[in-house]
Structure 1
């Protein structure tokens, strides 16, 4: 079987000849390039959205001006016949979230349609798109226009500040806060917390601290203010400052809540300092801020990462004895822990008996944990039955992680034909888009199976989806295609490595 795969170099065709033992339809790669995540749409809105999308994208290029795109929309019969709604405009803005020029044209065209008036959500989304593209002058012009029409809300300000802070322009974020009065908004605890949260999430905790010291004389902080700093200090891996903030919080008359303590516990877990973890846990259990399911699950997940499965199960027992109500996230973690500890029957009982009896919902991650367990213990038939159960139950849908263990099992026993079947099922039946980890896994395994032609096809698809390959993946594939004398493919891989400036991982 031969397969023509279009190369991105000079539009040439490379004739690849996969091993005869590998029977995967060429429709697979076509589907890989066309499947994509989309927002839920009604059938009518989906068709209309596609018409407008085609008008803008069909002939547009990087050099097309905003006026040309607007003219194309205004003079297209299919666009003029759409039933325009806020929902449709929002969907179009979402599709053009990485193309600020087309997004603004959509807004301008929608404004020209008789009787349509934009919602505040549409305006806010446009501001966010411009901020993401770092089109600061255009964003400021747009905000001034919103200001004249009295459309600026605190949500608008939040998007502006977060885009500035995310781009390292934290002083601009503070300046926007200083101008709140010009937009008819108040400088109060809510807006102050918004600024502090923005700075802390961008690891500007010290600057946020300076802002608080300046403002707290005339704006009163609340419990949420201190939780913002606890999270910020922990994100910066400065847990001692987070503990000091707990004491400061108490000094202002606020009682630390489960969120405050769990944030600190998560930080200690990341440091693998479980002595401190248990100290904080005991303090929570003794005080009036008892740990919740998220607290215990956080500790269990961290212990699992250290392969301390028996200790993780002791934490689960401790939680049940405390009377804490378990949730889906806890049970997903418990099933994973039991599976890794080799306790298959207990995991099955939790899945089939305990969760249904307590009315705890089962989701995709629950199924994925069970599927991974069966595959790990070479019980693939049971894993496949669970995938069928998911499909028939309609409670949840498979995702790419559902298939990872199944694909791994196929490669383990050398059944690449079954790999093709599962891939086709993922793409054509469930319309799943492969992510970076899935592409990387497949490329590596196909190389090891001496089917680097198919590995290279997936590499091309990965690039076409704007997913950057890992340095190690490129080196492995490059070595394999050179062995097969696939010279053009080797040149292509080397070109990609130089273009995206891939560097070797730091050891």
Structure 2
């Protein structure tokens, strides 16, 4: 095992402010032996655990939703739990990336007398199943919701987006065609949902075909055209976005700050800042003043392109025209200052300017600061911010909060001494369910650190929780296990890769 105080994380491991100090005593034990950090029992038995802890413990084990459902039904401690909407919503959020556990809990809660799922919990369950491409179960749940008249436009939006996101865009269109049988109206509001769904999944031409087919029956509104402007920009066909503005005017609608800002953001992605500045001038000529969202997007793009001085000048320009900053603006400003190496200025914005503007930092603000400190090898300050976020009650850490810290572990080569503690803190302290990006980060880091046995155990856990690894992750891990002559592991990885084709 490598020395726990190896640089540059010595401050993290040796000073009083470490993750072990931040963790409660019940979560500070080592997880190296099992390497299975995500759903470890917090202590023996159920004594002293809250209802949430009991259900998380039970629902974390099982190879199918039915097995999980039966374990909940047959457990006396679970039987004594008072089921509430808040409890079920919390559990569904906890298992949002683990459909088997989520669905087992959902079905178990349905058995309790006096309890009926709310439209919100139904929508959450539909979304979780759709995310994991469990289309048959989605359809069955929609039928159940329809019988209870619980389907809303929010439900339809989630179903359409999951179908389109899963490559089933024709099913998304079919849902719109069937919308009246589900108790909703075919109107411009529901049609815009379909357009928005298709455009966000880069199916703009398909959305356009539906538009041309239905525009004589359902009249478009200004939002319809803004959806298409965004869609064309997303697929980098900015000329069509400009033509859509002309079409918008032809239908009697005036392009708004949203219309122009969308095109500006497209030019920002292309780093075509000359066109950005031209459009800003055009907006002013059209008496359509840019807003804080317009400026924030430009500042962030300039910073990503390492045009830090231009980005800071744009921030001053925004203030000079009387555009009031918001939290997202300050997040971009902090990011810019951090990338420019002006750490002290970023801290001043975070601690003083935002407070003077009566703005509260959000999770993204903290994440930006944490990432900045890690980039500048100041991990102890990153941990201080993590604790501040926890204690302030203003917002909660998410998985992205921990990614810079995980990367720091790999960079410093102190994996055994730090990674387990970080993961323990994520899962047991903040009850975060590891997502695909976190699993991917860990597996890739372990492979590069020549810890492919550990990486493979994490890969197996990921599969067991119903998450589909990326092809690049499988390829990297496969190459590593072959070098270690782990033939059984290689065969299983190849089986997973075949399913990805």
TM-score category, normalised to shorter length: 0.7 to 0.9
How much does 1:160 deviate?
3.2
Instruction: Tell me the secondary structure at the aligned position of residue 276 of structure 1.
Output: helix
Q: Which residue number in structure 1 is paired with residue 37 of structure 2?
A: 34
> Residue 45 of structure 1 contacts residue 88 of structure 1 at CA under 8 Å; is this kept in 2?
no
Instruction: Tell me the secondary structure at the aligned position of residue 185 of structure 2.
Output: coil
> Residue 31 of structure 2 contacts residue 37 of structure 2 at CA under 8 Å; is this kept in 1?
no
Q: Which moved more, 1:114-123 or 1:362-371?
A: 362-371
Q: Give the Cα–Cα distance (whole angstroms) in 1 for the partners of residues 100 and 367 of structure 2.
A: 41
How much does 1:30 deviate?
6.3
Q: Give the Cα–Cα distance (whole angstroms) in 2 for the partners of residues 216 and 150 of structure 1.
A: 29
Q: Is residue 197 from structure 1 mapped to residue 196 from structure 2 by the alignment?
A: yes
Q: Give the Cα–Cα distance (whole angstroms) in 2 for the partners of residues 376 and 72 of structure 1.
A: 45
Q: Is residue 359 from structure 1 mapped to residue 358 from structure 2 by the alignment?
A: yes
Distance change (3 Å), C-alpha of 1:222 and 1:45: farther
Alignment deviations for residues 125-183 of structure 1 (CA, whole Å, 9 cap, x no partner):
44445544545455444434443443333333333333333333333333332333333
> Residue 444 of structure 1 contacts residue 477 of structure 1 at CA under 8 Å; is this kept in 2?
yes
Q: Which residue number in structure 1 is paired with residue 274 of structure 2?
A: 275
Instruction: Decide which structure has the larger Cα Rg and report it.
Output: 1
How much does 1:107 deviate?
5.1
Report matched runs for 1:68-467 at 5 Å: 74=73, 76-94=75-93, 106=105, 109-132=108-131, 134-370=133-369, 373=372, 393=392, 395-396=394-395, 423=419, 426-429=422-425, 431=429, 435-436=438-439, 438-439=441-442, 442-443=445-446, 447=449, 452=450, 456-457=453-454, 460-461=457-458, 463-466=460-463
How much does 1:308 deviate?
1.7
* Structure 1: runs of 5 or more not aligned: 1-17, 38-42, 503-507
How much does 1:91 deviate?
4.3
Instruction: Tell me the secondary structure at the aligned position of residue 33 of structure 1.
Output: coil
Distance change (3 Å), C-alpha of 1:122 and 1:395: closer
Distance change (3 Å), C-alpha of 1:279 and 1:184: same
Q: Which moved more, 1:183-192 or 1:128-137?
A: 128-137
Q: Give the Cα–Cα distance (whole angstroms) in 2 for the partners of residues 33 and 359 of structure 1.
A: 43
Q: Which residue number in structure 1 is paired with residue 16 of structure 2?
A: none
Alignment deviations for residues 252-299 of structure 1 (CA, whole Å, 9 cap, x no partner):
222222222221111112222222111112222333332222222211
Alignment deviations for residues 81-130 of structure 1 (CA, whole Å, 9 cap, x no partner):
33223333444555665676776665555444333333223333444455
How much does 1:211 deviate?
1.7
> Residue 56 of structure 2 contacts residue 91 of structure 2 at CA under 8 Å; is this kept in 1?
yes
How much does 1:27 deviate?
0.5
Q: Which residue number in structure 1 is paired with residue 23 of structure 2?
A: none
Instruction: Tell me the secondary structure at the aligned position of residue 34 of structure 1.
Output: coil
Q: Give the Cα–Cα distance (whole angstroms) in 1 for the partners of residues 109 and 180 of structure 2.
A: 30
> Residue 165 of structure 1 contacts residue 202 of structure 1 at CA under 8 Å; is this kept in 2?
yes
Q: Give the Cα–Cα distance (whole angstroms) in 2 for the partners of residues 19 and 203 of structure 1.
A: 47
Instruction: Tell me the secondary structure at the aligned position of residue 426 of structure 1.
Output: helix
Alignment deviations for residues 280-330 of structure 1 (CA, whole Å, 9 cap, x no partner):
122223333322222222112222222222222222222122211112222
Relative contact order, higher structure (CA 8 A, sep 6+): 2
Report matched runs for 1:4-43 at 5 Å: 18-19=1-2, 27-29=30-32, 33-35=36-38
> Residue 69 of structure 1 contacts residue 105 of structure 1 at CA under 8 Å; is this kept in 2?
yes
Length-normalised TM-score, structure 1: 0.74
- How many residue pairs are counted as aligned between the two chains? 460
Q: Give the Cα–Cα distance (whole angstroms) in 1 for the partners of residues 2 and 356 of structure 2.
A: 51
Q: Which residue number in structure 2 is paired with residue 13 of structure 1?
A: none
Distance change (3 Å), C-alpha of 1:214 and 1:94: same
> Residue 447 of structure 2 contacts residue 455 of structure 2 at CA under 8 Å; is this kept in 1?
no
> Residue 439 of structure 1 contacts residue 462 of structure 1 at CA under 8 Å; is this kept in 2?
no
Q: Give the Cα–Cα distance (whole angstroms) in 1 for the partners of residues 401 and 104 of structure 2.
A: 40
Q: Give the Cα–Cα distance (whole angstroms) in 1 for the partners of residues 60 and 81 of structure 2.
A: 17
Length-normalised TM-score, structure 2: 0.74
Distance change (3 Å), C-alpha of 1:21 and 1:361: closer
